[in-house]
């Protein structure tokens, strides 16, 4: 039985990913960054244990992953899903908004992967999936920080995929489009209207429509897919 760890795995797309991977028969742990009540409710509903730490903190990732591995066993599957937005056009963006988004969304991939990849290589099997975004592929007004972080994840995915390809470890990205989550609900309704009008499918994605792509990439049979980006955006960007 494989063991999976999903960052930001108690809410939104992450919660759907945690439950989809559990449904494949794997043991799953989910991290969260502080909403204890929501994490407890998620754990009660799904039976998935949750762990709390800040994925932008390199040392906290090492300690947190050691706790998960002590409880569940070595991590075979890592999903770097945790992410935040802090939107503002460039001239209005303060350095904190730039640094925090880069730290949570991109540094976290380095922090997490560096801890688990050695064990995956040694056991000659592993799956890493990084949850990027359509806005890292196309850019988006008001998201220089988020688009840079998400585009950075795509480069990180390809470089790490090369480093571990011989060791049975695959590294891929999933790039969701606009999905029915709290993050998207925070965008002003008049702006969302113009965005949804540009989605050929004519609606937002549901979190489980993203999660099934992750389940596909972490499957035993997916060993020949590595360094790829799976775009799941309702046709908004055909790349």
Chain center to CA of 118: 20
Of 19 and 143, the one with the shorter C-beta distance to ligand CAA is 143
Of 87 and 107, the one with the shorter C-beta distance to ligand CAA is 87
CB of 165 to ligand CAA, least distance (A): 27
CB of 223 to ligand CAA, least distance (A): 28
Measure the CA–CA gap between 64 and 7, rounded to whole angstroms: 11
Give Cα separations from 200 to 63, 161, 204 (angstroms). Answer: 44, 32, 10
Closest to 228 in 3D by CA, of 147, 177, 174? 174
Which 3 state secondary structure label does DSSP give 19? Answer: helix
Of 222 and 232, the one with the shorter C-beta distance to ligand CAA is 232
Q: Which of 42, 51, 53, 146 is catalytic?
A: 146
Binding site for ligand CAA (CB under 6 A): 85, 87-89, 92, 133-135, 140-143, 146, 178, 183-184, 187-188, 191
CB of 169 to ligand CAA, least distance (A): 26
Identify the bridge partners of residue 236 per DSSP, sorted by sequence position: none
Of 187 and 219, the one with the shorter C-beta distance to ligand CAA is 187
Residue with tokens 């992450």: 14
41-54: b (≥16 Cβ within 10 Å) or e: ebeeebebebbebb
CB of 176 to ligand CAA, least distance (A): 6
Residue 178 bears catalytic tag: no
Measure the CA–CA gap between 5 and 69, rounded to whole angstroms: 10
CB–CB of 236/133 below 8 Å?
no
Give catalytic residues, as residue numbers.
146
């Amino acid at each position: 039985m494989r063991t999976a760890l999903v960052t930001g795995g108690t809410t939104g797309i992450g919660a759907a990913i945690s439950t989809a991977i559990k449904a494949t028969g794997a043991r799953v742990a989910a991290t969260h960054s502080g909403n204890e009540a929501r994490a407890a409710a998620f754990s009660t509903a799904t039976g998935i244990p949750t762990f709390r730490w800040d994925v932008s903190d390199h040392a906290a990732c090492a300690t947190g992953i050691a706790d998960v591995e002590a409880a569940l066993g070595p991590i075979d599957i890592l999903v770097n899903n945790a992410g935040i937005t802090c939107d503002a056009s460039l001239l209005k963006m303060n350095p904190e908004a730039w640094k925090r988004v880069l730290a949570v969304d991109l540094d976290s991939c380095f922090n997490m992967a560096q801890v688990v990849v050695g064990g995956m290589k040694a056991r000659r099997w592993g799956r890493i999936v990084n949850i990027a975004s359509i806005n890292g592929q196309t850019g988006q007004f008001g998201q220089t920080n988020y688009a840079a972080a998400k585009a950075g994840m795509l480069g990180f995915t390809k470089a790490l995929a090369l480093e571990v390809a011989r060791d049975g470890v695959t590294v891929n990205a999933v790039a969701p489009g606009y999905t029915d989550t709290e993050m998207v609900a925070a965008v002003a309704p008049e702006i969302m209207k113009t965005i949804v009008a540009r989605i050929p499918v004519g609606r937002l994605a549901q979190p489980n429509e993203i999660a099934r792509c992750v389940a596909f990439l972490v499957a035993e049979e997916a060993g020949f897919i590595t360094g790829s980006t799976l775009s799941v955006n309702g046709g908004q960007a055909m790349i």
